[in-house]
Chain A
Amino acid sequence: MSELLRHAWLVARKDLQVELRSRTAFTLALVFTALVLVVFEYGRDPTAVPTRDLAPSILWVTFSFAAVLALNRAFQAELENDALEGLLLAPISRHSLFWGKLAANLVFVALVQVIGLVLFVLFFNVPVWRVWGPLAAVMALASLGFIAVGTLFSAMVVRTRFAELMLPVLLLPFLLPPLIAAVTITAQLLGGRPLSEGAGWLRLLAAYDVTFVALATVLFPATVTE
């Protein structure tokens, strides 16, 4: 087990290091997030719908788009110079490889979400600082299972035609349960109601995360084994 985690950490560190050195994908994801927020501002009638009512949707639609875009990147880099072959030849288990990729994706998406949240507060003047703790927990819970499926699918779609369109088409149905739960809880939190009110939703998110992290871990070897 510790060996498994150590190898996963090596893979994740490699991915994050590559990202840290170029910062291209991260910058792209951030600029994209900012632009989606701007589009939202002008895509609504501010006199008809108060920002507070629309805030959870704005936040989560932005996060969803950014996450799907970010996931495309996960295995794209491995295609260059057949880097994936090298990774597969390395004496590490496929499960470590998956967990490493998943961890790197989670860190990547979490960073984009945190900065996206700051921009959101700045642009829309929604006071989230009072609920930042519970909100961060919801963001983590809602992202884990979804990013796990996304990591699994991105390993496949990079080797298909129309990869950039294929991933959202396959992945967006999987966004629905975490999205509904996250939007509902976020609306409750921003409305000043306690996190415990969304206990049923939190349980659903936890069940979703456990199920899909486990399923993706089991299925991942089938996507890369030659």
Chain B
Amino acid sequence: MTRAPSQRGRWITAIALLALAGVYIRALGFTPVEAAQGPAQKIFYLHVPAAWAAMMSMALVGLGGILFLLLKDERYDRFAAASAEVGTVFSLVMLTTGPLWAKPIWGTWWTWDARLTLTLMLFFLFVGYQLLRGAVSDPSLRARYSAVVGICGLVLLPFIHLSVYLFRTLHPRPIVLKPSAPSLPAEMLVTLLISVGVFTVLYVGFVMQRYAIHADRDSR
């Protein structure tokens, strides 16, 4: 029973990784170099999609928690756990690509800007969530506890963003998701959107594999 989703997950991941290679080629070879930032801007095509996937992971961890508490179906718990694991990886990608870009552009690896703080806290929430899971041995208790922490974490994020935003911010303004039209050249926007799509598929592939492992572990 668990064999099939794991197998399918592996296929989806393989396809997504191939597509990711395509994103690299398109971003490096067929997308214009940004005038002010030069080649450093290329990392944007990995950084933003990774951030998107990490945020989506947290949203789905929270949603999985809500569904578990409402329906008491352990599959939602397993899904939330898998999503948190994958989210940790994506937030690590985001947290490593960010400073690599920031050093040449901002002149510093790290700054306590609104979005940087938010993503760091997102990472800590993922880590805390998994540490808690590891510290509870009873499966039903573990599922309920992690649902509670997942939901609280999801609700916390907008507050962190708002409070740090009010405090200070340096991060580039939103250029795609904003009230007016995206202020990004069409070729760059297309590359970015393709990459976001690829990262979403990658998320699905990873989660399916992790879910299968959790299901396998629970059935023993």
A binding-site residues for B, Cβ under 8 Å: 149, 152-153, 156-157, 159-162, 166, 169-170, 172-174, 176-177, 180-181, 184, 200-201, 204, 207-208, 211-212, 215-216, 219, 222-223, 225
Q: A173 touching B163 by the CB < 8 A rule?
A: no
Within 97-118 of B, Cβ neighbours of A (below 8 Å) are at 117
Contacts of B128 in A (CB 8 A): 169-170, 173
Cβ of B19 within 8 Å of any chain A Cβ, yes or no, is no
Inter-chain CA distance A40–B177, complex, in Å, is 44
Whether A160 touches B149, Cβ cut-off 8 Å, given contacts A176-B121, A177-B160, A180-B167, is no
Residues on B with beta carbons closer than 8 Å to the beta carbon of A208: 159
Q: Establish whether residues A177 and B162, one from each chain, have CB atoms under 8 Å apart when the complex forms.
A: yes
Q: What is the CA–CA distance of A211 and B144 in the complex, to the nearest angstrom?
A: 20
Q: Evaluate contact between A152 and B152: CB separation under 8 angstroms.
A: yes
The answer to whether A170 touches B135 (Cβ under 8 A) is no
B50 in contact (CB, < 8 A) = no
Q: What is the bound-complex CA distance between A181 and B166, given in angstroms?
A: 9
Q: How near does chain A come to B137, taking the closest CB pair, in angstroms?
A: 8
B184: CB under 8 A from chain A?
no
Contact of B131 with A152 in the complex, beta carbons under 8 Å? no
What is the bound-complex CA distance between A158 and B128, given in angstroms?
A: 15
User: Which residues of the other chain, B, contact A177 by a CB distance below 8 angstroms?
Assistant: 156, 159-160, 162-163
- Considering the complex, give the chain B residue whose CB is closest to the CB of A216: B152
Total inter-chain residue pairs, C-beta < 8 Å: 84
Q: Which residue of A lies closest to B149 (CB)?
A: A170
Alpha-carbon gap, A149 to B125, bound state (A): 14
Name 10 extra pairs, CB < 8 A, besides A153-B149, A169-B131, A176-B163.
A156-B145, A160-B136, A160-B145, A169-B124, A204-B159, A212-B155, A219-B69, A219-B151, A222-B144, A222-B148
Residue of A nearest to B125 (CB): A173
B166 touches A222 (CB 8 A): no
Q: Which residues of A contact B81 (CB under 8 A)?
A: none
Interface residues of B in 117-160 (CB under 8 A from A): 117, 121, 124-125, 127-128, 131-132, 135-136, 141, 144-145, 147-149, 151-153, 155-156, 159-160
Contacts of A180 in B (CB 8 A): 163-164, 166-167
- Taking a contact as CB atoms closer than 8 A, the residue among B135, B144, B163 that contacts A160 in the complex is B135
Q: Taking CB as reference atom, which chain B residue is nearest A160?
A: B135
The 7 listed contacts between A and B (C-beta, < 8 Å) are A162-B135, A169-B131, A173-B121, A174-B156, A176-B160, A176-B164, A219-B69
User: Given A176-B121, A177-B163, A204-B163, are A222 and B69 neighbors across the interface (CB < 8 Å)?
Assistant: yes
> Is the Cβ of B156 less than 8 Å from the Cβ of A173?
yes
Q: Residues of A contacting B148 with CB < 8 Å?
A: 152-153, 156, 219, 222-223
In the complex formed, the residue of A with least CB distance to B153 is A173
| Residues in A neighbouring B156, C-beta threshold 8 A | 173-174, 177
Known: A166-B135, A173-B125. A149 touches B166 (CB 8 A): no
Q: Which 3 A-B pairs have the closest CB atoms?
A: A160-B135, A177-B163, A177-B159
Q: Which residue of A lies closest to B144 (CB)?
A: A222
Partner of A149, one of B131, B147, B152: B152
